[in-house]
Amino acid sequence: MIESSEPHQPRISLTRVYFRTLGILLVFTLLLFNFKSSLQTYSVMSLATTMNSLDSDFLSARGLILDVSYFFAILLLLHIIWSGIITISALAPWYQNKDKHQSDVYWLLLICLHITCLIAINSYLYPTSLVSYFRHTLLSNPLIWGGITFFLILSFYRGLLSLMSKAVVTSTSILAAIVLISPFASTNKTSTDNSDKPNIIILGIDGLRPDHLEYLAADPKIAPNLNRLLNKMTIYSNTYTPQGRTYVAWMSLLTGQYPVSNGVRFNLAPPELVDKTLPIIELLKSKGYHTTYAIDERRFNQIDSSYGFDNTVGPKAGAADAFITGLGDLPYFNIMLIHPYSSKILPYLYNNRAYGKAYSPVTFNKTVIGSLPPEKPNFLAMHYCQLHWPYTSKDFIPQPLDSWDGNYNHYMYTQMILSVDKQVNDLFSRLKLKGMLNNAIVYIISDHGESFKLSDHQAINTQNSSSMPTTKSWGHGTNILDQQQTQVLLARADFSDGKIITAATVMDGLYSLVDIVPTLLSSLNVSTESIASQQAIQLDGEVLPKTADDVLLNRYVYVESSVPVKSINKSFIDKKDVMSETASNYEVRDDGKAYMRPQNYIELIAKKQRAIYFQHWQLSLLPDFDSPILLNTKTNEIYVADEYHGNFNWRPMLNALCNRYKGDPGFDPGSFCNQIDVVVTH
């Protein structure tokens, strides 16, 4: 029992008050969990049950258990600290309590004010949070919750002063303030690297479709800042992703090889089947570059320092992401994410686009730029994931207006482009301020497109065949005939003194993301033969042309699919159905990360669709179709190749496709490659 310092106050048992407070706060959190579950179409635990029923070892993985246990330990620790703050605050009430009943009333009032203040702040900062009950009310006004916060801080200090001397409280408060505020202090150091080595920046934007940009006649207001930037760059039209999956596309970009060459055929590839050595990164490091890979969502892209990068930025990668991002929507966690220390305390939530309700694009940019050493030339590969389904953000999307086309996912996608556009503008402002654009080579790319099964994307069936495969679908990486999935953005510019010095043009031709590494080597005056001989590899890409005279007219480009997922090709995507269909292909290992099962990895390669592009033609081999499919990308006319009677000779394309994928598991089940009677090499 501790006697209150105030005269005539009743005796208070700190231990009893503390544990009663802790109990109430824990019950409050359980109520929040229950409330959120009632609002969600699927709960976190239902998803876990789905995955567990498909993989009996899922929940026994040591790394997963540790990550989830750590999350709940932090949650409990927050309640322990919070209970202590309230208990201390109750020691010195602002009015004289005459009996125990009044003391209890005051204590309950403090708890209510704490909870109210917490939810009010959350409602102001994160209005789309499911627990932002006070959004758009008077309580979410900063003046109101700011006043409550000030009162609660004073109450806490009154309680502290009843326990310890003013000198101890003052010194401890100053020390705590320094520790808490110091991470926000920005040095804003400008680049001091005076060498002739340019900074190299590759910015990837997940799922950005070129036909939503001004250079392909889209409304410039969809992405005003990005369009202004691209209008000054060299844009390579008709660029295709090697595969419409983020990890696979980036590995193709960084190796300069198609997936069939580098061995990375799916997201979450088993590490023993992947060569993590990236020759371009090793080369740049040998030339004094500091290499960074930054991504704001790691559910399907686990590139990290084990791939040779000096530094990686982004949330922690692991299977626990699915649990923690679902459970993490709590006001105390959301408010904590403002502070940089959260990168260590809440590694699955900090800078995680998958936790869209609290993701800050500006904070992610700050974190990335702050990690770049100003005294060295930098290689920065970074990727934005805001355009990835399910299109959530911490701010509300405007109600549908003139841009509403009846397709919910497409509308949300176009609205999220505006958010990405602001993020890109903020990034380049910060890069310029830091001096990173005084001498730089910049690429802006998208890893894949995105399809929304829009009616105007169905190809014209000139042969009136009833069995023609569809070119209209959902998602990405599932249908190589859907050009909205495979066509991507590729733009390049040289910067000097913060300004673009290369020509602004749209370069016709045929290009792939595998062209970036050969072009970088050319820019650095390193021959592709030199790096290929040193690393015993063969680059598949070509050097991007600087003028129209350099364009390769007779070039082939290759694209392959991931695995088609039936549950995605519906008007409404149910996350639980998607996981039910795909989870059996994956396993969680002791490091806590999910990987595709090696046996499934090989089996699923046989189910891939494969295509080759030449000029404005695409020839595809589909495992479930008994003839090659020919598509004229200029007229959008589709043909069964064997029944095509036009002037274009597509057989050399088939020959090249067969040579590229010869020996690939399950390739060409129809034995079309054996039927080639004309072999012409372009």
pLDDT tens for 544-565 read 999 999 999 999 999 999 976 6
> How confident is the model at residue 95, as a pLDDT?
81
> How confident is the model at residue 602, as a pLDDT?
87
- Of 10-24, 53-67, 262-276, 580-594, the poorest mean pLDDT is in 53-67
> How confident is the model at residue 59, as a pLDDT?
57
> How confident is the model at residue 491, as a pLDDT?
98
Task: With residue 491 as reference, give the H or E element that holds it.
Answer: strand 490-496
Q: What CATH number does the domain containing 641 carry?
A: 3.40.720.10
**Among 263, 241, 244, 261, which Cα is nearest to 253's?**
241
> How confident is the model at residue 55, as a pLDDT?
53
Distances (CA, A) of 635 to 215, 371, 482, 484, 608: 19, 47, 14, 15, 26
Task: With residue 612 as reference, give the H or E element that holds it.
Answer: strand 610-614
> How confident is the model at residue 567, as a pLDDT?
45
- Of 320-329, 368-377, 489-498, 514-523, the poorest mean pLDDT is in 320-329
Task: Tell me the pLDDT tens digit for each residue of 143-180.
Answer: 999 999 999 999 999 999 999 999 999 999 999 999 99
Q: How far apart (Å, rounded) are the C-alpha atoms in residues 438 and 190? A: 10
- Of 275-289, 395-409, 467-481, 576-590, the poorest mean pLDDT is in 576-590
- Of 41-45, 421-425, 434-438, the poorest mean pLDDT is in 41-45
Q: How far apart (Å, rounded) are the C-alpha atoms in residues 528 and 518? A: 6
- Of 70-74, 396-400, 572-576, 649-653, the poorest mean pLDDT is in 572-576
Total count of domains within the chain? 2
Clarify whether residues 111 and 251 are in a common domain: no
Clarify whether residues 251 and 123 are in a common domain: no
Does a structural domain hold residue 278?
A: yes
> How confident is the model at residue 629, as a pLDDT?
95
290-295 and 311-313 as β-strands: parallel, antiparallel, unpaired? parallel
**Total residues belonging to the chain:** 682
Clarify whether residues 119 and 169 are in a common domain: yes
Confidence bin at 368 (pLDDT 50/70/90) = very high
Please answer whether residues 513 and 488 qualify as being in contact, where contact means their C-beta atoms are separated by less than 8 angstroms: yes
> How confident is the model at residue 500, as a pLDDT?
97
User: Residue 5 pLDDT more than 70?
Assistant: no
Clarify whether residues 207 and 164 are in a common domain: no
Task: Tell me the pLDDT tens digit for each residue of 222-245.
Answer: 999 999 999 999 999 999 999 999
Clarify whether residues 217 and 296 are in a common domain: yes
Task: Tell me the pLDDT tens digit for each residue of 433-482.
Answer: 999 999 999 999 999 999 988 877 667 777 666 678 888 888 899 999 99
Q: What percent of the chain has pLDDT over 90?
A: 68
State which residues form the domain around 238. 199-315+351-661
Does a structural domain hold residue 338?
A: no
> How confident is the model at residue 36, as a pLDDT?
83
Confidence bin at 93 (pLDDT 50/70/90) = confident
Query: 3-class SS at 640?
Result: strand
Does a structural domain hold residue 229?
A: yes
- Of 48-57, 279-288, 362-371, the poorest mean pLDDT is in 48-57
> How confident is the model at residue 345, as a pLDDT?
96
Clarify whether residues 249 and 307 are in a common domain: yes
Clarify whether residues 154 and 288 are in a common domain: no
Does a structural domain hold residue 642?
A: yes
Distances (CA, A) of 429 to 422, 425, 544: 11, 6, 27
Mean pLDDT, range 572-597, rounded to an integer: 73
Does a structural domain hold residue 191?
A: no
Q: What is the identity of the amino acid at 37?
A: S
**Among 57, 514, 506, which Cα is nearest to 319's?**
57
Q: How far apart (Å, rounded) are the C-alpha atoms in residues 250 and 242? A: 9
Confidence bin at 98 (pLDDT 50/70/90) = low
For residue 653 the two structure tokens come to: 């394309």
Residue 474 bridge partners (DSSP): 452
> DSSP string covering 494-514, please?
EEETTEE-S--EEE-S-EEGG
**Among 370, 410, 416, which Cα is nearest to 394's?**
416
Does a structural domain hold residue 676?
A: no
> How confident is the model at residue 1, as a pLDDT?
37
Does a structural domain hold residue 342?
A: no
> How confident is the model at residue 94, as a pLDDT?
85
Q: How far apart (Å, rounded) are the C-alpha atoms in residues 409 and 227? A: 23
User: Residue 337 pLDDT more than 80?
Assistant: yes
Clarify whether residues 36 and 126 are in a common domain: yes
483, exposed or middle or buried, with CB in 10 Å at 0-12, 13-18, 19+? Answer: buried
> How confident is the model at residue 570, as a pLDDT?
45
Q: How far apart (Å, rounded) are the C-alpha atoms in residues 401 and 372? A: 41
Cβ-proximal residues to 287 (8 Å cutoff; 6+ apart), any chain: 197, 377, 524
Q: How far apart (Å, rounded) are the C-alpha atoms in residues 474 and 334? A: 32
Final residue before a domain boundary, out of 161, 184, 207? 184
Mean pLDDT, range 290-307, rounded to an integer: 93
Instruction: Name the more confident of 616 and 586.
Output: 616
Confidence bin at 535 (pLDDT 50/70/90) = low
Q: How far apart (Å, rounded) are the C-alpha atoms in residues 552 and 283? A: 27
Q: Which residues of 139-172 are buried (b: 16+ CB within 10 A; e: fewer)?
A: bbeeebbeebbeebeebbbbbbbbeeeeeeeeee
Clarify whether residues 165 and 228 are in a common domain: no
Please answer whether residues 542 and 554 qualify as being in contact, where contact means their C-beta atoms are separated by less than 8 angstroms: no
Q: How far apart (Å, rounded) are the C-alpha atoms in residues 81 and 113? A: 16
Final residue before a domain boundary, out of 140, 156, 184? 184
Mean pLDDT, range 410-430, rounded to an integer: 95
User: Residue 90 pLDDT more than 70?
Assistant: yes
Q: How far apart (Å, rounded) are the C-alpha atoms in residues 448 and 484? A: 8
12, exposed or middle or buried, with CB in 10 Å at 0-12, 13-18, 19+? Answer: buried
User: Residue 429 pLDDT more than 50?
Assistant: yes
Clarify whether residues 167 and 247 are in a common domain: no
- Classify residue 383 by its DSSP letter: E
User: Residue 10 pLDDT more than 60?
Assistant: no
Clarify whether residues 277 and 402 are in a common domain: yes
Q: What is the identity of the amino acid at 526?
A: V
Does a structural domain hold residue 337?
A: no
Clarify whether residues 115 and 204 are in a common domain: no
> DSSP string covering 552-572, please?
-SS-EEEEE-----GGGSSSS
Instruction: Name the more confident of 501 and 680.
Output: 501
> How confident is the model at residue 555, as a pLDDT?
96
User: Residue 682 pLDDT more than 50?
Assistant: no
